[in-house]
Chains A and B, each alone.
Chain A
Amino acid sequence: ETGVTQTPRHLVMGMTNKKSLKCEQHLGHNAMYWYKQSAKKPLELMFVYSLEERVENNSVPSRFSPECPNSSHLFLHLHTLQPEDSALYLCASSQGPGATYEQYFGPGTRLTVT
């Protein structure tokens, strides 16, 4: 148990659906991250939030929309996704932004776009 939870653990959605991924951290951290993990590719950093403000957006398509209402919660809103968006989406948190602070990862949401 790393103190970072993600729901749902598995999600299957059609290309016209709208869904949201949720992440919650119980560690008192100030920074939260979304990563995309695809088979045979390096982890891709998607978004970084520090004290609820977005500090990094790695040119992610607009069909992915993050929301950080407070330092404990992070959402990833999904709409009109493509099959190539199927992947494991990992949330992480750390005391501060950047890798000086150890990042603690959640178990991920396995997303399948049909």
Chain B
Amino acid sequence: GNSVTQMEGPVTLSEEAFLTINCTYTATGYPSLFWYVQYPGEGLQLLLKATKADDKGSNKGFEATYRKETTSFHLEKGSVQVSDSAVYFCALTDTNFGNEKLTFGTGTRLTIIP
């Protein structure tokens, strides 16, 4: 079955540091990949997505590249801000078999210190 593995948190960084949150996946078909963000007290919001190999999703300074050869979709940001403190979820959907459920990772809590 499909699964998503992301680095365990919590991750604590200083403002303006470089961020990487690792995500790898297992899927039986041709998945689309997503990063969702959950700010304190709120629901999940779609941050970015990529639908095929070598695609790069980007939003709000965050980027992630769909790497089929390494089955990875690592989230990066060059200079984090305090407002980026949140929980980040990697997810996939495998559309090959008509099963379009989102499969989520466990989430990575990110805290940015001023």
The reply to whether A97 and B100 form a contact with Cβ atoms under 8 Å apart is: yes
B42 interface residue (CB < 8 Å to A)? yes
Digit string of A71-94 for contact with B (CB within 8 Å is 1, else 0)? 000000000000000000011100
The reply to whether A105 and B101 form a contact with Cβ atoms under 8 Å apart is: no
The reply to whether B43 and A105 form a contact with Cβ atoms under 8 Å apart is: yes
Q: How far is the CA of A18 from the CA of B82 in the complex (A)?
A: 41
Instruction: Describe A's contact surface by its main secondary structure.
Output: loop
Interface size for chain A: under 10, 10 to 19, 20 to 34, or 35 or more residues?
A: 20 to 34
Which one of A40, A41, A103 lies within 8 Å of B102 (CB-CB)? A103
Please name all residues of chain B whose beta carbon is closer than 8 Å to the beta carbon of A56 when the two chains form the complex: 101
B106 interface residue (CB < 8 Å to A)? yes
Q: Which of B4, B43, B103 has the most CB of A within 10 A?
A: B43
Digit string of B93-111 for contact with A (CB within 8 Å is 1, else 0)? 1010000111111110000
Interface size for chain B: under 10, 10 to 19, 20 to 34, or 35 or more residues?
A: 20 to 34
Instruction: Describe B's contact surface by its main secondary structure.
Output: strand
Question: How close is A89's CB to chain B, nearest CB, in angstroms?
Answer: 11
**What total count of A-B pairs have CB within 8 Å?**
54
The chain B residue with its CB closest to the CB of A4 is B43
Please name all residues of chain B whose beta carbon is closer than 8 Å to the beta carbon of A98 when the two chains form the complex: 93, 95, 100-101
A113 interface residue (CB < 8 Å to B)? no
A16 interface residue (CB < 8 Å to B)? no
Please name all residues of chain B whose beta carbon is closer than 8 Å to the beta carbon of A61 when the two chains form the complex: none
A2 interface residue (CB < 8 Å to B)? yes
- Residues facing B in A92-114 (CB within 8 A) are 92, 97-100, 102-108
Which one of B34, B89, B101 lies within 8 Å of A45 (CB-CB)? B101
Q: How far is the CA of A42 from the CA of B106 in the complex (A)?
A: 4
Question: How close is B101's CB to chain A, nearest CB, in angstroms?
Answer: 6
Question: How close is A26's CB to chain B, nearest CB, in angstroms?
Answer: 14
The reply to whether B93 and A99 form a contact with Cβ atoms under 8 Å apart is: yes
Digit string of B46-62 for contact with A (CB within 8 Å is 1, else 0)? 10000000000000000
Q: How far is the CA of A104 from the CA of B102 in the complex (A)?
A: 13
